[in-house]
Amino acid sequence: MPSNIPNLLTWARILLIPLFVGVFYLPADWLSPDEENLLATLIFIVAAITDWFDGWLARKLGQTSAFGAFLDPVADKLMVAAALVLLVKLERADAIIAFIIIAREIAISALREWMAKVGTSRSVAVSFIGKLKTAAQMISIPMLLHHGRLGGFDLQAWGGVLLDVAAVLTLWSMAYYLWKAWPDISAHGG
């Protein structure tokens, strides 16, 4: 397991997950609901920033590795899944939307793993639509975690709309990846 700065940041992101979830399970007299929301939002934002930063550092410092390429998306998916499950529990997100997003992540991860095994992983490289989906998720989740207003801006309402957009982009990107992978699936006994 290579230990370099980008991988350590990825591990830190994974270690933030129990802290992030734990915020909502602290004794009631430790934090007010508004403080819980703010703290969870800040933890999620820090995790999102480390996601961008560890990739940038890996490229800048020439510290990319097969292990880092594996661990980084796992950390991302774990953090997003934890956030979506919490948002459903807190009744700030619809369970169907969370299921669509989480199921797509599992399905595409499995597809990428299979494609790598058959030596055709390039056909399921990250697409622009996948990046849009990720951006919509990473903006909507902190809005829903904050669950309030920021100035005159209703974060809950707009976060809900943006999460719905993320779900549509999720389905679109999954269809795109499956379409790109179909020739390889057909050729390898799919």
Residues 80 and 106: beta-carbon distance below 8 Å: no
Cα distance between residue 174 and residue 181, in whole Å: 10
Cα distance between residue 89 and residue 64, in whole Å: 37
Q: From 99, 71, 56, select the one nearest 3 (Cα to Cα).
A: 71
The confidence score (pLDDT) of residue 106 equals 92
Encode the chain (190 residues) as per-residue pLDDT tens digits: 557 888 888 999 999 999 999 999 999 899 999 999 999 999 999 999 998 888 888 888 888 887 877 888 889 999 999 999 999 999 999 999 999 999 999 988 888 777 777 776 665 666 788 889 989 999 999 999 999 888 888 999 999 999 999 999 999 988 888 888 888 777 776 5
Spell out the residues 6+ positions from residue 50 whose beta carbon is closer than 8 angstroms to its own: 9, 10, 12, 13
Cα distance between residue 86 and residue 181, in whole Å: 33
- For residue 54, give both structure tokens: 């560890």
Residues 82 and 23: beta-carbon distance below 8 Å: no
Residues 121 and 109: beta-carbon distance below 8 Å: no
Q: From 102, 108, 105, 83, select the one nearest 159 (Cα to Cα).
A: 83
DSSP 126: P
Cα distance between residue 121 and residue 181, in whole Å: 9
